[in-house]
Amino acid sequence: MSTMTYLQAITDGLRTEMRQDERVFVLGEDVGAFGGAFKATAGLYDEFGADRVQDTPIAESAIIGASVGAALAGLRPVAEMQFSDFVACGFDQLVNVAGKMHYRTGLAVPMVLRLPTGGGFAGGPFHSQNPEAWFMHAPGLKVVAPSTPADAKGLLMSALRDPNPVCFLEHKNLYRRQKGEVPEGTHLEPFEARVVRAGEELTIVAYGAMVHAALAAADTFEPGRVEVLDLRSLVPLDEEAILASVRRTSKVLIVDEANETCAAGAQVAALVADRAFSDLDGPVRRIATPDVPIPFSPTLEASVLPTPDRIAEAARELLAY
């Protein structure tokens, strides 16, 4: 085990897989000698060269389209968007080409699209989005969202070995803030949810950065009362893990940083209402970001994003129901 930041774990996962599989290569804006906008590809250009760490023009549609073609030709591209917001420029190539290719032709498209997501750093409306719901709605795409350094490496390496196109959501606020032990060498994590804190009275369902907000909220209660379930994967969604946790605790609070309409949390809420209604001892509660562009002002941004205090307040209300 080595202690790494979330960002270092992503780099380590890329490096490990590139050493083991010559088909894996990285492409994107400034991913070469510069090391990427957030330095996630730092050092890879020096080790693997320009053929496997390719700088591209500022053209997201071309980056994703080239990745689809490379994947169809037998390679395993890893495309980086500097910010997840910019993936909208390549939406057609991802949703209508990569996602549907297997359904149309039977051919696999083994590519990974790395998407730095989320707010919390005063990046404003063009650098703070959480676009996962766009891709959950699109057939053929897998969507994963790690919350810890170990999962960042393990889920990334699993994504790199998956025959499907995978949207890999990296929360920018975790890059240098989260540290933890990470297995050395090959480390694979399944696209499944995991209970990160056991409890008996209330389940908080979260993913990505919101897992840490949920844990901070859970710390305000007596040990053993609040369970925290980290989804880790949104597509496939681990429905059985969600239902099992809710049935144990009988109450559920869903936390989602994305805009609340049609967010990932809405799918979880619908699942619980449909298949665990009789097990509930209170309403299904959700906390998400209002449907507004993320403000530049740190004060205004903090007023719209879910916080541990807001989560704890909702949990107290639900526990008292």
Question: Which residues form the catalytic set?
Answer: 127
Taking the CA atoms of residue 298, residue 304, residue 306 and residue 310 in that order, the dihedral angle to the nearest 10 degrees is 100
Crossing angle, helix 149-160 and helix 6-20, to 10 degrees? 30
**Euclidean distance between CA atoms 110 and 119, whole angstroms:** 29
Long-range contacts of 294-299 (CB under 8 A, 24+ apart): 294/119, 294/123, 294/124, 294/125, 294/128, 294/129, 295/124, 295/125, 296/122, 296/123, 296/124, 296/125, 297/122, 298/122
| Backbone φ and ψ of 122, nearest 5° | 60, 45
Helix (H) or strand (E) holding 193: none
**166 and 111 in contact (C-beta within 8 Å)?**
yes
Classify residue 157 by its DSSP letter.
H
Strand partners, 287: 255
CA–CA distances in Å: residue 32 to residues 25, 48, 85, 290, 291 = 11, 10, 21, 37, 36
